[in-house]
Every structure is written in structure tokens, then in C-alpha cells.
Amino acid sequence: MHHHPVFISYARNVSRAHAEALHHALSQNGMGAFLDTEDIREGEPWPKHLAEALLAARVVVVFAEDGYFERLSCWRELQAALAPFRATHRSDALGGIVVARPVGSTTGMEALPPALRSIQWPRADDVPGLVERVRSGLAVWQESFGARLDALGALQSRTSLQLVEELAAEPPHPLDGQIPQYPLQLAPSLGRTFVGRADELWRMDLVLRARDPHPAPRTVALHGGGGTGKTRLALEYLHRHGRHFSGGVFWIDADASTERLEEQLHGVLRALRPEVPPLAQLRKEQRSVSDALAQALRAVPPEKPILYIVDNLPEPEGAQRPRPLQDWCPGVGRVSLLVTSRLRPATSGVTVQSVEPLHPESAMLMLTHDHTVSALGEEDWLRITRWVGHLPLALELLNRAIHLGGLTPEELLQKARHERPARELDRQMDALRDQVEPDALRGVTEAFALSYERLPERARKAARLLARLGPEPIPLMLLEALGPEVAAQDLRTALVTRAIVSKVPGREVPLFGRMHRLLADFLLGQSIDPDGELRQVGYAVHKVVTPDDRHNVLKWPVLQAWIPHAEAVYEALCQRDSRVDIRLEVQLGLLMSSFLIEQGALGQAKQVCLNVLARGTVFLGPHDSDVLSVVNCLAVVHQHLGETGVAMKHLQQLLAVSRSVLGDNDPETLTVMGNLASTLMTVGFTDEALTLKEDAVQHWLAMHGPEAPETLAAMNNLAVALFDVGEGERALAMHEDVCRISLKVLGPDHSETHLAMLNLAECRLSMGRVDEARSALDGLLVRLERSHSDLHPTKLSARSALAMSLARQGDIAGARGHAEAVLRFRSQALGIDHPETLASCWILADLLEMDGDWQGSRRLKQQRLELCRERYGEGHKETFDATLDLVETLKRSGLPKDALELLGHYLEALLRLHGEDFSGTLTTMALMAQHSRAEGVLSRARQWSERSLAGWGRIVGPEDFQTTAAAWEHFQLLVQLGEVEASQAILEHHLQWMQWRPAESLHPIQQEIQNWLFEEGRFSKTAPKPEEEPSAVPLNALEGILAAPVFEAPKAGIQLYFLGDPIEPGEAYEQIRSFLLGKLLTRGIRKGEAAARLERRSKVYRVEFDLRQGNDAEALGTLTIPHDGFPPKDFESKLKAARITTVEDPNIMVVTKRVLVSQ
């Protein structure tokens, strides 16, 4: 094949006429040119003869019209022509390329490297001008493109690469408001002052923005030392090219805590899917934000590209392996990913682009921008840039110093000439040695020192104090908390204008700016009193927020901006092995933990609590009041994590210590009592919980009287608990007292008064006093309209209660109006799956049903059920309630088969997730039996009824009201089936025991069943009472049983669980005994008296075990310890009787179901 010295690259459908004219003119002038006239369809391989022709050419003519850059074949040709430049990054390597400028729009020129775009090329229709350009090129370039690439060793790798579009440094452009973005505020572009990085921007865009319909993963890693400008380069790319990424532009700060990273990923997710619920809710239901974001990124269509920037990728510590990029970007391979890092990534598929210090000429431009260049000669300026290693951070500081008059160019040159030793500064900069080039270290240190020395003394201290904070944007409230030493306007102006702090805009929270890590590291070494300055910053960080702020969602943005700085100060305090500021350390850690709990970051909160507890115990002692507060906080974490047994253990011990050390009337003791009461309510110990709540009220009354806010809060909590256990009248009276006192003491416009009025109205409504409730709610809403937004929680709760009041009065239309508004506002403020939003959905659905809109009601209830499944999981009570509610609506709307099918699917899920011995599973079985019976499917009903009865008997015992209710349902079913003997057996074995029990000792459900059985003659009040067997095991017999080999021998592999927590072999008796002792202590009995009561022979116990072959296996049998107490050998016999072949099987678990206490 004959090769030509000129290759013409053009888009066939745009520039054919111009290209053919040039081809003809070159031939007439004796310059042979290759012009391919065959069109190449998208997806076809680049023809070999085109590659050979281009590599043989010495000059390539590019018709850079708009259509050119939209054709993949054209981009391949351009890629080959640019290969020498890509291999060397030298502008002279662009020789041999002639550009035919578009006749009309010049937008296509933006895709060319800056060195080509800046030349005034002939237009595409200027044939003579193009011929002269080609002639000049041929005269200079005697080697073909192939020969040049061979010399560089890049031929093979450069001609087959797929090409991408638009490579030049565009000017900054604002993002389209329709493009999803996170975060909404970023530092602005430097505009024309951003120098020396055009080629870097072009190379980044070459990879990141592709038009190939099947591109390879597009990831660019900017690699370089600290202060070289990696973050600035990424930011400028976003401002200049972000508008081309219509699918979204996202920025992640990688060097952040796990919780902060999750917050950022959640922000990106919300930008793509605004309907996603708040992060605290996702954490609560343990949903993966990363997985959800990966799905959202995959769902964005390919025609909407996404720019995803991960800034400051952290280096691994010690011998740890680098973390995968997916930790920060779940969409690797699906998005255009730009990463900045000091560590050179070794991941395949990543284009690593080194970010070196600026070239000398560019460094000089940066240094001399905005001031007189003639003050020094060019060589002197270049000497100064060499002195600071051409580092952008140092150059910016020196530029500001000169521009603001703090340093003259001549003074700066003298500093550079003398290279004066800076032994002390070098010692302070040891931490920076691995972040800058070795030869430039002293210059960088001197640059920081010069900027620092030129600050007024007040500004120096302000800079040092701010360096103690985290690298995140500093909220203005922290500045003000530090006092006039930092917050004074002249100091703030000095810190910003001299580039000590970079300005950062803020929307929800006013921000001052951020300080570069490199500069902060330097400033930390300049203090002569580091402990004192750390203490000053620590107290400011601690006082700027209050414990109550965490309960106010309106202040959460402030707290989210505060916590990174609290973490930084806390870590600094922890690193000092001193007890001087241990009090501050403990209090700050406690404050952080409280907010983390409220946010749902329970793992981080637990770790902080454990760290604070460890150090606080060592330096302050276990009985210090702040340490006790930490224990209380840790117990709350365990409670939220579902670790109820651990939480109860902490709280019981803490309550005993608080009472003995602080006394019953100490606020900390009363707080612990409240938390323990909540935990006891959770596990069903309502009597103990109410006792504690009542004790708390009595103590607050004794300490501060009935009008103290603490007393009112305790009374309100007790009133709510009383109503929950059925003591409505007493609860109502207490709510009335709280409301009356609040009006008197706090006034009618106080937020706590509003809450008291709302609680009273809701209590009246629940007790059927609708008119009173309606009147109170109308009056409350009149007050709230004056001062509260539509999104305020109290106002929304009041409107929700008013909707229910109107419905009870028959005004369904009015009720719907309020309910629809509440649902809309709560969805907007809290998210669609927040518990309060779900409750609003339920209320509106019921109102639609009352209004005859069955379809609308079913739709809302189906939506609620799906959201509950996502948020809570299948086995949660909220999901169960939502399922049952929809089932009942389906039945009432004439769809009983759909109702039964839904209930069946739900039961299958529960059996799969939790097995048969789960309360929700057994309740659903009972419902399946009832609905099957109603549909006439009696055989199916009998199957579910039998399984429900057997299950309740296993997990709660034969005399629990749940077992009694299941037995009653099964008894009625058997009667309906005409099975007399079977129904009589159920009566005798499961219901007969109630015949001799006083009604007041039974559960209300059992009382109704007992009453019916007496009325129907099934029970007789004159029947002789059978001789009772001992109902439990004496304490000493329990000790013997728990000392059996099955518990003592670890080799048996049998695990004992008590209240959901594992117990070590050999310690079972002591732990159960400690639990029982703690129960007595919660009743206010002193420890010695409690121990004495525990040892009395009159107190006996029964322990039930569930034996399983592995975690998920079906129960092999239930073992109840014999009532009269067996020796160990009989205990082994009982194990065998439960169909377990050997107690040596390591998969056998012994699970404590309950401990029953009787007097």
C-alpha cells in the first residue's frame, strides 16, 4: 500500500466538501494526501488501512467542526495524532497537526489541547491557507507519526485506545439547576487566576467524558504530595466541565469518619432520589446507604453521565491494605470517577495522573498575580518559586503577603537568597516531611513561617486556635464561642485575606471557612502553650451546644457542622496522657455520644462511650458523677441496639451505685431511674417500670416541688405510661395537673405548655371525651398558628389529633383535610417512612375508608405496609400492625381471599426469618386460623390453631394469657368441628386451672374466658380444687441444677442464653442470681435486705429451657426443670428425654426462656 505524507481526518457527513477540496489542492501542489471516503458505522472496528495511513503520515489535518467530535472513528484518528503529546506532555510534540477551523460555531475547538486551540488556524473553507500550513509542517517534520511513536515505545498502546470528548480547560460555567448536585455549596472557581493546569484538565477530561457507546470504566486518580493542588484541580474541573454531566455532579470528602462518610453518601442518594428517608431512619432500620446509592447510580440512564469526585483518599495505616474505591463510590465503573490522593492507587482500570508542583513559568505567574512584576527580574522571581518548591499552597500564601503589603518582593528575594537555617521550624515541620518533596521542605516551612510571622500577634493566636479544629468547614458559632480573640471582624478578615482560611459558603449553617491540613499541621507546632490553647478550644467546643439541642431537629444542621470539630478536639485530648483536662474530655465525649445516639450512629456512639468510660474510670474513678452519666449513656446505646439484657445490667448496677453514692434525690439517679423504667417496659416488667416512674415523680416533687420543669416532665412521662397500661383515669388526672401547672408557671406560649396541652387533649380523645378534646385542640392551634411553621412537630401532632376529633364528630371531610395536610408536611419534613409519617398515612387511610373510598384506603395501607417492611423488616411490630390493618380493610371491602393470601405470605416470611417460636409468628398463625375459619376452611384453621397453641405454651408457659387465648380459640374450633373429646382435653389441660383462680389475679382476656366458662357451665364454683404440686424450684435446688456438667463443661459446647444474652458455663447461677437481686434493688430495697430475701427458702424459682440443634433448627423439645429439684444425674436424664442423642454435641444450645419468681 502506498503511503502519503498527509492524512486528512474529517467527519464524512459534515466536512466532505471541504476535505475533498483540500485533497485536490494538495495533489495539485505535489503533496500527496490520504482521504478515505468510506463511512465507518458506529460500533465497527477502526479499519487497519486507516491506522497504517495515519501512522505513515508526517502531517495530519483535522477538520475540527462540531460533527467531528461526535464521531467515534474521528476521535480514534485524533487520538493517534495526539499520541506523541500524550506520551510526553510536551507542546512541541503537537507539531505535525494542522487544524481546519470550523466555518460557523467554534465550540468543537474546545475539545483540542490548549496549545492547539490557542493558534489562529485557517477556516475549513480557506483552502490556500490550509495548504500553506501543511507545506510548513512537512518542511519541519521529516519523521512520520509512527516513527515518533516507535521512538517513544508507545505505538502499540496508543493507536487502539477508545477516545473521549472535550479535553481543554473551559472557562468556569455555573451548573444547570436541573443537574443533581451534592453538596450544594462548594468553594468557587479561581477563574483566570487558576494558572498552569490547562493540560492537566485536558488529560482528565480525555478519560472522564466519553462518547463511546460502550466505554470502559472511567476513573482518574490525581496523585501528588500535600499542597500540590490536587483538590483545587478537581474543583476547577467540576466548575469548568461539570455542566456536561447531566446525570449529577457529586463531591465526597474521603478522609472522614465512617459516620460522616455515610452522611455524604446519603446526601448523594437524596440528590438522586429526594424521596429517600433521613439518614437517622436508615440507620435505625440498619439499611445500607451504600447499597441504596449503588442502585440509584445504576438506575441513571447512560445518556445522563455522572461526575463523581472523591477528594483526599486516606492513606492506609501501617501495613494495612488500601481500601477499595467502592467504599467511597459505590458506582465505580458506572460513573466518571475522579479521585485525589497522596497515595498512588494500584487498582487496575484507574488512570493515574500525577499532580506535580507547578512548572517554573506557571509558578511565577501564580506568585506575581495581582501585583507589580517589574519589582524584580524574571530570574529573581523564578528563584523565589524554586525556594518554595513551586508548591501552589506556598505560592498562594506568599502572593497574599505581597499583595496585602505585609512583605515586599525585595524582602522576599533576600529570604530566598540567604536560605537561612530554620532549625526550629524544621523541627516543627517533621510531620510534613512525607507530604512534600525533600528538596522543597525548608522552602515550604519558610513560606508558612513568613506568612505566619507577618500576621499580627492576635491573628497568630487566632490561627493557632482554629488549627485545633477539624479540617471541615468551621461554623461561625464556633468562632463566636472562641471569643473576641478569634471572632473579631479584623481577625476574621486577616485570616481570610492572607489565605490562612479559605472562605466556604453555607446555606443551613453559617460557615466561616476551612483551613488546609498542611497549614494546620504547621500552626500546631508554633504554640508555646499547646495544652492551654487546646483547653481553650475544648471549652469553646463544649459550651457552644447544650444536651437539649439534640432533641430539637431544627438544630441538627448546626450539630452536624459542630461534631467533626468536637471529634478533632476530643481525639487531641485523648492523645494526652494526662488527667489535667480529663473532666473536659469526659464531658465532651458524653455530649458527642448523646448526639450520635439521636442521629442513629449507634456504633460510633458505643465506641465513644467505651473510650470515655475507660479513661474516665481510670482518672476520675467509677463513682464520679460524669462517669456515671457515661455508663447511663452506654446503657441507652445498648437499649437502642436491642441489647436489652446488657442495658438492664448496666442500669441496675448504675442505679444501685447512684443511690449509694449520689443519693435517691440526685438528678443523675433520677435520670437512670427513668431509663431503667423504659428498659423494663420494653421487656414487659411493667410493674417495676411504673414503680420507678412513680418514684422519680415523688423524688422530683420532694426536691423541687410540683412546679419545677423536671417534675412536670417526670409527671408527663408517668401519665403516658399509666395510660399505656390501662389506667386512663389516673393518667387523665395527671395530664390535667401538668397542663394546669404549666399554664401557671411557664405561661400559655411556652413550648412545654403547648406539649402539655396536646397530651391532655390526646388523652381525653382516647377516653371518648371528644368535645373537650376538640375544644382544647382548636384553642391550641390558634396559638400555634401565630408562632409555629406548618412543619413544626407540635403543630402537626395537634392537627392530627384534631382530624381524629372531627372524624369522631362525623365531620369526615374536615378530618380528611387536616390528615392530608399532616401527611404532606410530615413527608416533606421527616421523610415518607418516618414513624410519624407512617402513622399519618394510617390515619388518612382510615378516614378514606370511613368516607367510602375503599380503593384509596387500600392504596395508602399498601404503601404503609411496604414502607414498614423496608424500614423495620417483616418481624417488627409496626410491620405486623400494618399487615393486619390491610388484611382487615381487604376483608371489609369484600376481598377476603386477598386478605387471607396476604396474611399467608406474611406468615411465610416470619417463619423464614424468625422460626415458629416467635411471638409475631404465633400471633399470625392464630389470625390465619381465625380467617380460615371465617372462610370455612376448617381443616386449615385447625392446623394453624394447633401450632399457635403449642408455640405459645413453649415460649411463655401454660398460664400466660397468650397461651390461654390460643387454647380458647382452639377449643371453640373443636366444638364447631364436633370433636367433643378433643375439645374436652383442651379444656382440662389448658383452661381448667383458671377455675380456682380469683378473677382479679388474671389478665383481662383470661377474665372474659373464665366468665364465659362459668356462665356456660363448663366451670363450677363448687368443684374441688386438686392438690397442687410445687410450682418452682427452691433457690438451692436451682444452684445444683446450674452446676450440672452440662453447664460446667465447656467441651460440651452448650450455650446458655439468659434474657437474650449468652452466659458463660459455670457462671449461670451467679448471673441469674444477680439479675434477681437487681430486680429487688429496683424496688428500693437495700442491698443487704435484698440478698437476705433472695436466700429465704420461701422464695422459689422455675427455669425453662428450649433445646435446639443449631441456631436456625426447629426446636427438639422443651425442658422444664422438675419442680422438686433433681440432682445433676437426673438432669442429664431429662436432656435425653428431650430427644437429644448426646449432650456432647457442640451444636446443642440451651436457651433460657424465662425465670418465674413466686413468693
The domain that contains 906 carries what CATH number?
A: 1.25.40.10
Which region among 744-753, 973-982, 1040-1049 has the lowest average model confidence (pLDDT)? 1040-1049
Cα(710)–Cα(509) distance, integer angstroms: 31
Coil, helix or strand at residue 101: strand
Inside any domain, residue 483: no
> What is the predicted pLDDT for the residue at 251?
95
Inside any domain, residue 622: no
We report the CATH number of the domain holding residue 60 as: 3.40.50.10140
| Same domain? 1013 vs 1043 | no
H or E element that contains 888: helix 877-892
Which region among 439-443, 486-490, 779-783 has the lowest average model confidence (pLDDT)? 439-443
> What is the predicted pLDDT for the residue at 993?
84
Structural domain total, the chain: 5
Cα(160)–Cα(350) distance, integer angstroms: 17
- Reference 60, options 137, 131, 7; nearest CA is 7
| Same domain? 61 vs 127 | yes
- Reference 1096, options 1152, 1036, 1045, 1032; nearest CA is 1036
pLDDT band at residue 108 using 50, 70 and 90 as cut-offs: low
Inside any domain, residue 143: yes
> What is the predicted pLDDT for the residue at 163?
29
Inside any domain, residue 798: no
pLDDT digits (tens, 9 = 90+) for 807-861: 999 999 998 999 999 888 878 766 787 777 888 898 999 999 898 899 889 999 9
| Same domain? 198 vs 303 | yes
> What is the predicted pLDDT for the residue at 69?
74
Give mean pLDDT, residues 110-116. 80
pLDDT band at residue 1074 using 50, 70 and 90 as cut-offs: low
CB of 180 within 8 A of CB of 271? Answer: yes
pLDDT higher than threshold 80 for residue 309: yes
pLDDT higher than threshold 90 for residue 569: yes
- Reference 756, options 771, 766, 778, 741; nearest CA is 741
| Same domain? 901 vs 954 | yes
| Same domain? 205 vs 150 | no
pLDDT band at residue 640 using 50, 70 and 90 as cut-offs: low
CB of 928 within 8 A of CB of 901? Answer: no
> What is the predicted pLDDT for the residue at 250?
96
> What is the predicted pLDDT for the residue at 742?
87
Winning range, highest mean pLDDT, from 179-183, 401-405, 505-509, 1083-1087: 179-183
pLDDT higher than threshold 90 for residue 130: yes
pLDDT digits (tens, 9 = 90+) for 717-747: 888 888 877 788 888 888 898 899 988 887 8
pLDDT higher than threshold 90 for residue 339: yes
From residue 47, how far is each of 54, 57, 981 by CA, in Å? Answer: 11, 16, 90
pLDDT higher than threshold 80 for residue 771: yes
What residues does 513 pair with on adjacent strands?
474, 503
pLDDT higher than threshold 70 for residue 369: yes
Cα(49)–Cα(60) distance, integer angstroms: 15
pLDDT digits (tens, 9 = 90+) for 226-243: 567 888 899 999 998 898
| Same domain? 931 vs 990 | yes
pLDDT higher than threshold 50 for residue 1110: no
pLDDT digits (tens, 9 = 90+) for 914-941: 788 777 788 889 888 888 888 888 888 8
- With both helix axes pointing from N to C terminus, report the angle between 625-640 and 667-682 in degrees, rounded to the nearest 10: 20
- Domain enclosing residue 782, as ranges: 705-787
CA-based torsion, 538, 544, 549, 552: positive or negative:
negative
pLDDT higher than threshold 70 for residue 1034: no
Give mean pLDDT, residues 70-88. 74
Structure-block grid coordinates of residue 663: 443519693
pLDDT band at residue 451 using 50, 70 and 90 as cut-offs: low
We report the CATH number of the domain holding residue 230 as: 3.40.50.300
Structure-block grid coordinates of residue 766: 382516647
| Same domain? 192 vs 153 | no
Q: What is the pTM of this model?
A: 0.47
Give mean pLDDT, residues 256-274. 91
In the chain, what is the greatest distance between 2 CA atoms, to the nearest angstrom?
130
Cα(152)–Cα(90) distance, integer angstroms: 13
pLDDT higher than threshold 60 for residue 647: yes
Give mean pLDDT, residues 85-102. 81
- Reference 674, options 703, 707, 715; nearest CA is 715
Domain final residue pick, 758, 787, 816 = 787
| Same domain? 350 vs 204 | yes
Q: What angle do CA 91, 92, 95 make, to 5 degrees?
A: 110
pLDDT higher than threshold 70 for residue 1096: no
pLDDT higher than threshold 50 for residue 153: yes
pLDDT band at residue 1116 using 50, 70 and 90 as cut-offs: very low
- Reference 971, options 937, 933, 1000; nearest CA is 933
Cα(1121)–Cα(1137) distance, integer angstroms: 12
Q: Are strands 1061-1063 and 1055-1058 parallel, antiparallel or unpaired?
A: antiparallel
* Side chain identity, residue 1108: R
Give mean pLDDT, residues 310-322. 70
Domain final residue pick, 787, 821, 848 = 787
Inside any domain, residue 383: no
| Same domain? 250 vs 217 | yes
In the numeric block, the cell 371531610 is attached to 813
Q: What angle do CA 674, 677, 683 make, to 5 degrees?
A: 150
Inside any domain, residue 964: yes
pLDDT higher than threshold 90 for residue 1129: no
Residue with more model confidence, 215 or 657: 657
| Same domain? 40 vs 141 | yes
Q: What is the mean pLDDT of the chain?
A: 76
| Same domain? 190 vs 139 | no
Which region among 553-562, 583-592, 970-979 has the lowest average model confidence (pLDDT)? 553-562
| Same domain? 1103 vs 1154 | yes
Inside any domain, residue 163: no
> What is the predicted pLDDT for the residue at 1131?
46
Structure-block grid coordinates of residue 162: 477508545
Which region among 159-168, 372-381, 592-601 has the lowest average model confidence (pLDDT)? 159-168
Inside any domain, residue 1006: yes
Domain final residue pick, 110, 127, 158 = 158
Cα(593)–Cα(605) distance, integer angstroms: 5
Cα(279)–Cα(257) distance, integer angstroms: 15
